[in-house]
Chain A
Amino acid sequence: MQLSILYFAQFRESIGVSSEVIDLPPDMITVADLVRWLSNHSHRHQAAFMDLGRVRVAVDQTMADFDQDISGASEIAFFPPVTGG
């Protein structure tokens, strides 16, 4: 299944792209599974996901937790804590 991954702010800069499309391996069930898989993808991904306390995630444009089920999702975004306002 194809999944769009978006990166914002420091994540976009450290990974070097604002988005990528991946073929989701079938054993990926939660956000945490995906983060582990992406971390093994490249040194840039590994560095971006080093400090999980600073990773925020949205699944299909809604804020989510690391234990959220991602089967059926089409867009997952990673970013640091928000700083608007």
Chain B
Amino acid sequence: MKTVRVQSQDFDPGAELALLDSLGAGAVASFTGLVRGDDGVDRLVLEHYPGMTQRSLEMLVETACARWPLLGAIVIHRIGELAMGERIVFVGTASAHRAAALEACAFLIDQLKTSAPFWKQEWVSGKSRWVDARAGDADASARWLKD
């Protein structure tokens, strides 16, 4: 099972995990990202490149499935306006054993952060600013290039 969804509405991590649980795998791993309220940020606006987003996430899932023996992978990313504490992103993987499920899950979120065309704009008391890419994210993504 390979699922990629880009959507403005919220998702239910429990329902997504239940789908992965139903695949008969021995291991299910997941990551859920939430809007942080750093420095008084009260909401985020997620912009994306509609023609490219879905396909770039599908390619990441294909790469993960080629690298690890996965029975299932789910990637969901929200777009539009999100309030503090809301869910932004979900990555879930299912495999026979924990190492593949955990590694593939980490790979997908690390790669998504540096290669999928999304941009975060933060709003703080009525003023907006674009979020800067973090060097740590590039390092986390690059570690998967090593063998």
| Residue pair A75, B116 in contact (C-beta under 8 Å) | no
| Residue pair B49, A84 in contact (C-beta under 8 Å) | no
Q: Is B130 an interface residue (CB 8 A)?
A: yes
CA gap between A72 and B119 in the complex, in Å: 28
Q: Is A16 an interface residue (CB 8 A)?
A: no
Q: How many residues of B contact A (CB 8 A)?
A: 28
Segment of B9-17, B18-26, B96-104, B107-115 in the binding face: B107-115
> Which of A9, A10, A79 has the largest number of chain B CB atoms within 10 A?
A9
Q: Can you give 21 A-B contacts (C-beta < 8 A)? A: A8-B48, A8-B119, A9-B119, A61-B51, A61-B55, A63-B56, A77-B49, A80-B119, A80-B130, A81-B133, A82-B113, A82-B118, A82-B133, A83-B131, A83-B132, A83-B133, A84-B112, A84-B120, A85-B89, A85-B113, A85-B137
Binding site for A on B (CB under 8 A): 33, 46-49, 51-52, 55-56, 77, 88-89, 109, 112-121, 130-133, 137
